[in-house]
Chain A
Amino acid sequence: MTTTELIIQLLITGLANGLIIALIALGYTMVYGIIELINFAHGDVMMLGCFLALTIVGLCGGEQLSPWIALPLLFLTVPFFTAGLNWSVEKLAYKPIREAPKLTALVSAIGVSFVFINIGMFWGGLPMDVFGGGGSAASAKSFPDLFGWSNLLGEQSAVLLTPRDVMVAAVTIPLMIGLTFFINRTRMGTAMRAVAQNPTAAKLMGIDVDRVIGLTFIIGGALAGVASVITALYTGSIHFQMGYRNGMDAFTAAVLGGIGNLPGAVLGALLIGLVRAVMEGYVPNGGQWSNTVVFALLILVLVFRPNGILGSRVREKV
């Protein structure tokens, strides 16, 4: 493998992982932008989306399922489910305490996270073949391989590009462009930016703040749902504790890029993905230090730019 090939390979893996983190990070950062709440349950919403995806695949025939049926099916149902879940969380756990001190909502979010983790564990114990018959609820579950293992660059190529890597980019990039368009160009997007800037003033201008907040949670949840389908297909296994790890990466990405800032979250996520790829895929014994490097980078950025990489340049949140 030449140096160029090595760099391309690290870029492919790093960007694919980074894009997945970015999808989850967008959900964190949007919610923070609107109500200044760090929604710790967000990663677990994504985890439950993964369990739904596996359940659906299991009900529809497992490994035999054609990807051309599975993909539309999953991308329609799972984001719908996670969006509804995220919306209900807002209505049940955050809205009643919206006027309370910020810390109250944070504790509420952590509580919701624990509830979801336990639901995930229970879900993994259902007596289905895809869950190993339900014998060990807490173990990781293999997600059927719907794509095969071909190298799109040909079997002789040293660089490995799988259909999975392409799928990650093909789904996430248009979604992010669409989201940017929605926030910047539509009436509802304008309303969201208005609420983010000043909820009271937005209310005085006749904006239905509750509806805007609800919509933010729906969009964030739907993005988490897309992320769950992609994660399940990309990594090939799911686990009831995966929400914590993915959520932590995404949250770090959001803070790194400047929390509340959409392009910042994507930038932060890609940075984390690439740092991890280099540490784990190239630096000798780097795998055990990748977390250290990521968090050291976070501290370094926060020391010199307390609002994150893009946080201070763009004043408007959402």
Chain B
Amino acid sequence: MRSWMTSTMRLLVGSALGTIFGSALIAVDTITIVSSLPRTGSANAQTTSMVNGIKMALDEYQRTLTVGGTNYSLTYEDWDDASPERGAWDPAVEAANADKAIRNPDVMVYIGTYNSGAAKIAMPKLNQAGLAMISPANTWPGLTKPNVGEANEPTVYRPSGSINYFRVVPADDIQGAVGAAWAKELGAKRVFVLHDRELYGQGIAKMFQQNAEKLGLTVVGTEGIDGKSGNYKSLINKLRLARPDLVYFGGTTETGAGQLAKDMQSGGLTAKLMGPDAFYNSALINAAGNAALENRVFITFGGIPPEQQTGKGKAFVDAYRTVYKIEPEGYAIYAYECTKVALDAMVRAGKKDRAAILQALRETKNYDGALGKWSFDDNGDTTLALMSGNTVVNGAFSFVKLLGQ
């Protein structure tokens, strides 16, 4: 009698507990999205804006997602891939981030990186693990395209043999070409090409140079410079000797773009300064001041600037302004698009499964997003090729024209 009572009670209590925990487990099942972007150093303002973009995408879904009839709560983790020692992205931190994402079974998408050099570290790891990676900002062509970068690119990033890396920005081969064409349009005949000796800067400088030569511009010199130098006054002397009418700098705001603009002005060099998308952040205006930039600096950017957006892009920019009371930086909309296309792929995959989501991303066709209607091609690149040309007026970026049409 007594033993019967006990076992019945045990059964009751057990089933009650089972119900409680069971339902709790269903309620807390999550899909996690992580981003690995530089949070330490001068790229941080850009990163904050990109993270805001990601959060806005998630908030549009109220942070829940129905995948194959099951409700999941969406969680997001904002990881730093920079270290204080370097003041910029750090290979060791990026590698640790990739490993951490792989180990967490809830992580379905890895958004990053900002720097192409950092992508090189994370790509093979995530590829091996079959985890999707989408970058809002990497522009080094070799990450996805054969025959434009190093000889072993991009196969070295794909140890599993299939593609897991996608990007929503046009790569630098396109940017270099539109930059050179724009330089010619601006009346440049003699160009001096500088780069910061980093993967991104040197790569885009090379693309610019090749295209400039193809268009009949004279390249009067090329030079790798020290991105951490205190000033470039001596370098300006060399530039003056070569008498260029346009200087192209394959570099970033973190590697001396602002100081270069400043020293070109103080050194009496009237040549125009042209730079790639990594110039397109408020830190450049902070570093060089308006006088050194106004109608002197020309920036190609892989897409349309916030104030020129129309349709869904404009809706994003307006919403961003309302929520954060500040203008979005150039890459915010790309981070937003990354997140949106990832969520779209999860719904299409129909289950919380890395392989299924990856397959759905590969099949993304005619996605109608904030950047317009675009697809991922077989390399994982966006089919978008439209860029914009910008300058600085009155201490703010100012759109000049669309490029690459």
Contact = CB atoms under 8 A, between A and B. Distances in A.
Interface string B221-232: 111111011111
Given A17-B233, A135-B282, A138-B87, A285 B224 contact: yes
Given A281-B237, A288-B197, A245 B288 contact: no
Contacts of B44: 136-138
Contacts of B289: 142, 144-145, 236
B231 A138 contact: no
B265 interface: yes
Given A13-B237, A287-B223, A136 B45 contact: yes
A10 B234 contact: yes
A13 B236 CA distance: 10
A302 interface: no
B234 A139 contact: no
Interface in B229-270: 229-238, 240-241, 253, 258-259, 262-263, 265-268
A308 B87 CA distance: 33
Interface residues of B, number: 45
B235 A288 contact: no
Given A142-B286, A144-B289, A235-B259, A282 B226 contact: no
Contact of A149 (B87, B230, B258, B265): B265
Interface string B276-315: 0000001101111101100000000000000000000000
Contact of A1 (B241, B258, B265, B268): B241
B240 A237 contact: no
A245 B231 CA distance: 11
Nearest to B236: A281
Given A281-B235, A281-B238, A287 B224 contact: yes
Give the one of B42, B45, B234 with max A CB within 10 A.
Answer: B234
Contacts of A42: none
A290 B228 CA distance: 12
A236 B266 contact: yes
Contacts of B32: none
Nearest to A240: B87
A119 B222 CA distance: 38
B237 A237 contact: no
B250 to A, nearest CB: 13
A151 B265 CA distance: 12
Nearest to B237: A281
A242 B230 contact: yes
A88 interface: no
A181 to B, nearest CB: 30
Contact of A280 (B222, B235, B266, B286): B235
B259 A237 contact: yes
A291 B326 CA distance: 41
Contacts of A246: 230
Given A13-B233, A139-B42, A287-B235, A145 B291 contact: yes
Contacts of B265: 149
Contacts of A17: 230-231, 233-234
Nearest to A131: B286
Nearest to A148: B266
A164 B265 CA distance: 13
A96 interface: no
5 contacts: A132-B283, A136-B45, A160-B268, A241-B87, A281-B234
Nearest first, the 9 A-B pairs at minimum CB distance are: A142-B289, A139-B283, A136-B45, A281-B234, A140-B287, A280-B234, A132-B286, A281-B237, A139-B42
Interface of B: 40-42, 44-45, 87, 197, 221-226, 228-238, 240-241, 253, 258-259, 262-263, 265-268, 282-283, 285-289, 291-292, 326
Interface of A: 1, 6, 9-10, 13-14, 16-17, 131-132, 135-142, 144-145, 149, 151, 160, 162, 164, 231, 234-237, 239, 241-242, 245-246, 249, 276-282, 284-285, 287-288, 290-291
